Amino acid sequence: MNKLIERIKHILKTKEIRSKILFSLLILLIFRLLSSVPVAGIPAEAIKSLFEGTSMGDVLSAVSGGVLETASIVAIGLTPYINASIVFQLLGTVIPALDETRKEGPEGRRKISMYTRLLTVPLAILQSFVIYSTLLGFGLITKLGPLELATMVATFTAGSVVMMWFGELISESGLGGGTSYLIMLGILAGIPGSIRSNFLTMDNLQKTLFIVISLIMVTSVVIITTAERRVKVQYSRRVRTGGALESYIPIKLTQSGVMPVIFAMAFLSFPQLVGKFLVSKNYNEGLTNVAEKVLDFINNPYIKDGLTFLLVIGFSFVYLSVVFKTDELAENLQKQGAFIQGIRPGENTSDYLRKISLRLAAVGAIFLALLSILPDLFVRVGLVNGAVFSGTGLLIVIGVILEIKRQVESMVTTRSYDRYL
């Protein structure tokens, strides 16, 4: 324990780390203050009644930072931004121009980020209007006048843009990835209530099983998210001793981190929100019946788990194509006079790295997908009575904590190195 305390003290001596911690806490404080500011015309009870007991409600609550049911100005949270990101990730795989833009380096990524921000605004407007119309269709709220409706939509949209901005600020000046950090806060905010309603009602055997299962899952998540294969790289330049300089390329088992899980959550919420909207409006009997069947289909626990499993795997490969560019990596290695023993530089190196990354991604994606649905399966087979947290939530929380840990360790190492220069 003393070593841990000394380690924490050593970390906090680093000014940069202290600044990032304080900045992240400041954003958290502002976010919580905004989550207490209500939107005129939308009672919190109406939102709660609409989504209570549904998987869509759990998903939307998580990506809103746990404040959906407050009906506050930040209630719709990051959903529009995440959906905009999904759109451009998918478009990048089918539109060569977008893929070429990404390959332009920092400037290209800046353009894609700008496009994503721009798309976030109309998606936030659309989601705000759909939520209002759905609440109205189910008779949970009274009809708003044109000015009141415009104000409500503008307020929700502005709140979503602020959340997007918070995420970017945390990525730049705080600890962890901004989007996943805010989602983690929402997941953690819901755990005390889940403990009160589920864990405390379990008998002693179920509590023991729950603790054992939780420990196994946490350990598995840590192992999977930190596992990597190191591909040895040699440099043609020689040092004075005559030996070749050596390094390695770390290729993680889960190269895309927890983003596939977040994307899968957001992607599944979209058809459910649209289905709710169509049912509430009851435009015609046939369309309403189709919407109800779609909702029943998606809300079937086994179907939902199956879709989550497939989406996590699918987004793992999509995201891999964005974050791990083997062509660029092979080109940079060649420029630096580096090579992988037994592999020709250039295209052969790119193909070799792509083959390794795809194999690792396949294994990592399957494990991520399994872990994201296991807690629900344990509940259904009776091992535990009610889930305190979801598999997707567990993956996100641990993934963010590990990312923050790596970031802090990197800053401590850099500071220690600078002291010797």
Tens-digit pLDDT profile for residues 256-302: 788 888 888 888 888 888 888 888 877 778 888 888 888 888 888 88
Please check whether the domain covering 2-198+396-419 is classified as CATH 1.10.10.10. Answer: no
**Burial class for 33, CB neighbours closer than 10 Å (0-12, 13-18, 19+):** exposed
Q: Is the pLDDT of residue 410 over 70?
A: yes
**Encoded amino acid at 170, one letter:** I
Q: Read off the tokens for 246.
A: 């050596």
Domain assignments of the chain as residue spans, ordered by start:
2-198+396-419
- pTM above the 0.75 mark? yes
pLDDT category of residue 44 using cuts at 50, 70 and 90: confident
Angle of helix 79-94 relative to helix 301-323, nearest 10 degrees? 60
pLDDT category of residue 28 using cuts at 50, 70 and 90: confident
pLDDT, one tens digit per residue, over 313-360 is 999 998 888 788 888 888 888 888 888 888 888 889 999 999 999 999
pLDDT score of 327: 85
pLDDT score of 389: 61
C-alpha distances in Å from residue 65, one per residue of 36, 58, 81, 179, 211: 13, 11, 13, 10, 26
Angle of helix 178-197 relative to helix 55-63, nearest 10 degrees? 130
Q: Read off the tokens for 344.
A: 């020709």
CA atoms within 13 A on the CB side of 207: 8
Residue 138 contacts by C-beta under 8 Å, 6 or more apart in sequence?
50, 280
Residue 118 contacts by C-beta under 8 Å, 6 or more apart in sequence?
none
pLDDT score of 313: 93
3-state secondary structure 52-76: CCCHHHHHHHHHCCCCHHHCECCCC
pLDDT score of 246: 67
